[in-house]
Every structure is written in structure tokens, then in C-alpha cells.
Chain A
Amino acid sequence: MARNLKLVAEKITREFEVKGGRITALYNVNLSAWEGEVLGVLGPNGAGKTTLIRILSTLLLPTSGSAKVMGFDVVKEPEKVREVINMASGAERSGYDFISARKNLWFFSQLYGIPGDEANKRIEELAEELSFKEYLDSKFYSLSTGYRQRVTIARAFINRPSVVFLDEPTIGLDVMTAMSIREFLKRKARDERITILLATHNMPEVEAICNRVAIIDKGRIIAEGTPEALKNTLTLCAYAIEIKPIPVNLGFLESVEGIKGYTMKADSQRGTATLQVVLEDEELLETVLFFLSKNGIRVLNTWRKEPTLEEVFVSYVGRGFGERESES
């Protein structure tokens, strides 16, 4: 079966005027997505994911570069693009409080001119698929966060869009709700050939549902490929080292040649931290342990890690998501 390219972004750059100058939110971003593909855009908060979605969904103009959705130019033909897309964000409220979920969805279907019967049928189908049928007639304000988000996701698919942009759609949701939404998205892409661009900083989510992933940092796409391919390119080795006490500063590691990057997660309750290091050579581990000990840090445990997307990110950027977010 011939595959169709549904979304193409070429050299997208976006700058914002801020007090005291300009900031570049996106720089020379190239991206493409195929029919029925779930493309993950993975990056820490502030990396430029939302800006990218806003440009592709016609809400924001790029400073330079171009993008096409279903062959329509997002800059010059926003009206045509809007016919074939939809979007949802985990941060939005996305509904009128005093009317039911069903009526909210019916209203949003009317924004696309869907005839009443067809809209009602579609609402029933989506409610069934996202398991909120019993809440369809509940007032929107009375729904829990999880059910509101199910309604929000249903809204994004109400017009049978060809391309859907989702910005952190499962943020703040419990594991079961997040899982059911992920399953739904996978089915939509697979069965209805809908292209989904999923912006997230949730790595397990990307690994669970994305066919391909583009890793973004500071407005630049730094790597792109299937999650497996990206992990396989990691010829480096990753280690997890449990240490005590929690170090204030790990700057000394930067002077060690051969360390491609590191990230640390602290467990303040236990007073320990897990340091993840990506090394060019496994023999460098000894050197890392030596430096830790030299700086008064006790090593409790060490083990080799299967590479994850986080290690991929660390190997490219030299830092983990957490550190990147606190830097920006």
C-alpha cells in the first residue's frame, strides 16, 4: 500500500519578541508524518513542542519556513487546513460547564457542519470507544479530570480529521485513564488511518504508541526515527549508579572525557540519588566511580541499563529532561 505524506514542515523557525530581545522558540525544524502514523515530538517543557503544534494547527505564523498539512499551506491556506485537522491539549478545559458532555460534543461537531444524525452517531461511537458513555449526559462541570479529558479527546476526533495534533493529552491523568486514551489513539491511527502528532515529555507514552519520534530540545529537532531505531543507534553504554548522599553539584563529571551525558533523580526520603550516565566506553565506569568517591559520594549500587529514549536524549544533549527544564 502506497503511503501518503500528510504533514510536512520545512525549516520552520519561530522567534518571539520578549523584553530585552528575541527568543528563538523553534529553529529550522524539519518534520514529516505519514498517513496513519503516530509521530511523537518528545522534549522537556519549554523545548518548543507547543509552539510547533500552534504553527501546524494555524494558530501561529512561523517567522520563516513552511508547512503543509494534507497538501495545504498552513500559512497561506489556513481555512483549508482547518477543514481537515483537529487538536486537543491536556491543559485546556474544552467545554461549557453548564451543559452535558453530549451537548458539548454536539456543539463542537457543528463547528464542522456535521449533520445532526451523523453527529449524534459519532458522539455515541466515541463515547463507547473512550468509555464515558454513562457520563454523556452529565454536566461538564460535574465530570472528574479523567472524564473531562476523555471528552476532550473525543472532541478532537469528532470531525473525522485526517491529522490530529495532541499536546500532552494525558498529563495529570491516572495510569488507567492514560492507558485507555493511548489505546484509543493507537486504534484511531491504525484503523482509521488518522495521522497523529503527539507532543509530550512522557517517554513511556512515546514508546507505547508512537511509530516514530522526533526529539526536540531548545527549539531544534536533535534526532528522529522509530523509538527502536533511536535506541539502537545508541552504541554507547548507559549505567545507573545509586549514590548517597544526594550531591549538590555534579559539575566535576563534565571534566571526565568520554562521558556523553548524565542525569540524576533524587530520592529525598531515602537521601539517595540514581545517577544515569551515558559513556562512550564501558571501561570509563571505573573512572566515574573514582571521581564520585573522590568527591565524597558513596556508591551503593551500579547496574547496566537497557537504553531508553531518555538515554538517547542524554547522549545528544548531555543532560536529562529534568535538568533541561530547570535550565530553561
Chain B
Amino acid sequence: MNFLRYIASSMRIGIYHDLSWTNPMLSIMLRAVYPYSSIMTSCLIFTVGSKAASKFTDVGLLYVMIGAFLYMHFASYAWVPTLAIGEGKNLFVFQYIIITKASSKFYLAGRTFSSFVVSILTATIGFILSYITMGSIVGHFPQLSLGPYSVVSIFAISLLNIPASLGLGYILASYALYASKFEWALPAYIAGMIMILSGALFPVTLLPYPVSFVAQYIPFTEFIRAARDVLLYSNMSDFLLSITTGFAGGLILLLIGYFVYEYSEEKARKVGALDRRLA
């Protein structure tokens, strides 16, 4: 069970990395500013646009708010393996992780889990603050199906998404293993693509075929749909179907990510990219 120890110690490093630069509470609050502002921007665009088109509805606003919240959460920690590799190469840490008997995959998993913890906290704070702020902007608080059951369901969604984010993280990290520069560019593109393809802000049916068809079956789309089923439509049967499909898709993504990463690590050894400092 040594791999659990590797993952736990990497998680610890990740938490230190994210929070210990100042008081942890202050750090969490400051990190919540970004998701809060992003969720707010999406909600405000919806509000301005829908009011100008006389199509504003509470359901529409919550649809965007929930989507933006989960997108922020999912996307933020899928980046982490890439960041960990980029930073690790420049600080000469990554090569030491590679040469230990603990696999770097466990290190990246630990870093992803720690970022998941930080992200769920900050995105949730961002969501709550956005809900309150938008409530005061539109003059009333839109009706959310909130209760212990829905809170647990949202947490379950968040947990069940981990394989998908980690799988995506491994795929992006495979690129970072080779990159000598701009390792951050691919995750930026992928994060933007997910924003469009996951239906975070609008129904994926709005996208042209076959993009809309593919987008429906991305795990992130399923999980965002599931969250809306719980918080907005109280539709439990669809919820269960969505999380099951999402989780299955996430596991497939994780499996693909794992093997792609393993293959890339071996290739990167051959070309001598594992310990190459990034420009």
C-alpha cells in the first residue's frame, strides 16, 4: 500500500503549495475570488443579454450559474499535473520524483487530489457568493432545490468527476513531459474547449453537428447536467443516469490518460525531455 503513502505525501505538498504562502483561511478566500468573478461574469452576461431580449428567467440564470460553478471546479484541477510538471522541472524537483521508486503518476494524482480539495472549497464559496450577489442584483433569490440530499448529491458529483479530471490531467501532463516551452498553452485551449463543449453556459444542442453529438457524451457534460437535475429540476432518474454515464466515461478517460502518460514518460526518457528545464 505504499502508493497510498506516495499519494498522501504528494497531497500534503500540494496543499502546502496552494495555501501556505499566507494564512490558509486568507489564502482560500483569495483563491475563491477567481471562481466567484468567473461565475459572476457568466451570470451577468446572461442577465444583460436575456433582459435585453426580454427572456430573463430565474431558471435560465441558475442554469448558467450551476454550469459556470462546476466548470470552474472541474477545469481548475485538471490543469494541476501540467503545472506540477512545469514547476517541478524548473525547480529541479520533478526529476527527483521520477527517479524514486514511487511513480510520478502517484505524485500527479496526489497533487490533483489536493487541488480538488482546494477547488471544491473555493468554487463552492464562489458559487454561494455569486448566488447572493446575483440575488441582490435581480432583486430576489431564484429558487434552488437545496437540501441535505441535493448538497450530498453535488458533493457526490464532484467526487465522481475526479477520474475524468485526473484522466484529462494525465493526458495534458503527457504533453508537458515533452514540452520545452509553452506547456501551459494546451491546458488553456482544453479548458476553453471544455467551457464550450460541456454545456456549462448553454445547451450543447446549440453547437453544430457533429460537435453537439460528441459534446453530449463528455463526462463533464454529464456531471453538469446531473447537477442541474438535482439543483434545478429535482429530476432524480435523469440524475442517476447522468452520473453513471459520467462516471463510466471518467473511468475510460482515466484509463486512457494513465496509459498515454505511461507511454509518454517512456518516450520522454528516450528523447531526454524528463529533466529539461522549461523556457
A141 to B180, CA, bound (A): 10
Q: Is A97 an interface residue (CB 8 A)?
A: yes
Residues of A within 8 A of B17 (CB): none
Q: Chain B, interface size: which category?
A: under 10
Q: Is A98 an interface residue (CB 8 A)?
A: yes
Question: Which A-chain residue is minimally distant from B278 (CB atoms)?
Answer: A141
B185: shortest Cβ distance to chain A, in Å? Answer: 14
B180: shortest Cβ distance to chain A, in Å? Answer: 8
Residues of B within 8 A of A141 (CB): 180-181, 277, 279
Q: Chain A, interface size: which category?
A: under 10
9 contacts between A and B (CB under 8 A): A97-B181, A97-B279, A98-B181, A98-B279, A139-B279, A141-B180, A141-B181, A141-B277, A141-B279
Question: Which A-chain residue is minimally distant from B277 (CB atoms)?
Answer: A141
Question: Which B-chain residue is minimally distant from A142 (CB atoms)?
Answer: B279
Within 8 A of B (CB), among A64-106: 97-98
Within 8 A of B (CB), among A112-159: 139, 141
Interface string of B237-279 (1 = CB under 8 A from A): 0000000000000000000000000000000000000000101
Interface residues of chain B, those whose CB is within 8 Å of chain A, are 180-181, 277, 279
B26: shortest Cβ distance to chain A, in Å? Answer: 21
Shortest 4 CB-CB distances between A and B: which pairs? A141-B279, A97-B279, A98-B279, A141-B181
Interface residues of chain A, those whose CB is within 8 Å of chain B, are 97-98, 139, 141
B82: shortest Cβ distance to chain A, in Å? Answer: 19
Residues of A within 8 A of B180 (CB): 141
Beyond A141-B181, A141-B279, list 7 extra A-B contacts (CB 8 Å). Answer: A97-B181, A97-B279, A98-B181, A98-B279, A139-B279, A141-B180, A141-B277
A139 to B277, CA, bound (A): 14
Residues of A within 8 A of B277 (CB): 141
Question: Which B-chain residue is minimally distant from A139 (CB atoms)?
Answer: B279
B117: shortest Cβ distance to chain A, in Å? Answer: 32
A97 to B90, CA, bound (A): 13
Most chain B beta-carbon contacts within 10 A, residue among A98, A139, A141? A141
Residues of B within 8 A of A98 (CB): 181, 279
A25: shortest Cβ distance to chain B, in Å? Answer: 27
Residues of B within 8 A of A97 (CB): 181, 279
Question: Which B-chain residue is minimally distant from A98 (CB atoms)?
Answer: B279
A277: shortest Cβ distance to chain B, in Å? Answer: 39
Residues of A within 8 A of B279 (CB): 97-98, 139, 141
Question: Which B-chain residue is minimally distant from A141 (CB atoms)?
Answer: B279
A89: shortest Cβ distance to chain B, in Å? Answer: 19
A184: shortest Cβ distance to chain B, in Å? Answer: 27
B93: shortest Cβ distance to chain A, in Å? Answer: 18
A139 to B181, CA, bound (A): 12
A266: shortest Cβ distance to chain B, in Å? Answer: 26
A97 to B182, CA, bound (A): 12
A59: shortest Cβ distance to chain B, in Å? Answer: 25
Question: Which B-chain residue is minimally distant from A97 (CB atoms)?
Answer: B279
A145: shortest Cβ distance to chain B, in Å? Answer: 11
A92: shortest Cβ distance to chain B, in Å? Answer: 16
A33 to B277, CA, bound (A): 40
Residues of A within 8 A of B181 (CB): 97-98, 141
A98 to B279, CA, bound (A): 8
A5: shortest Cβ distance to chain B, in Å? Answer: 44
A97 to B181, CA, bound (A): 10
B275: shortest Cβ distance to chain A, in Å? Answer: 14
Question: Which A-chain residue is minimally distant from B180 (CB atoms)?
Answer: A141
A24: shortest Cβ distance to chain B, in Å? Answer: 31
A141 to B277, CA, bound (A): 9
A232 to B174, CA, bound (A): 62
A272: shortest Cβ distance to chain B, in Å? Answer: 31
A98 to B180, CA, bound (A): 12
A187: shortest Cβ distance to chain B, in Å? Answer: 32
A127 to B118, CA, bound (A): 50
A175: shortest Cβ distance to chain B, in Å? Answer: 24
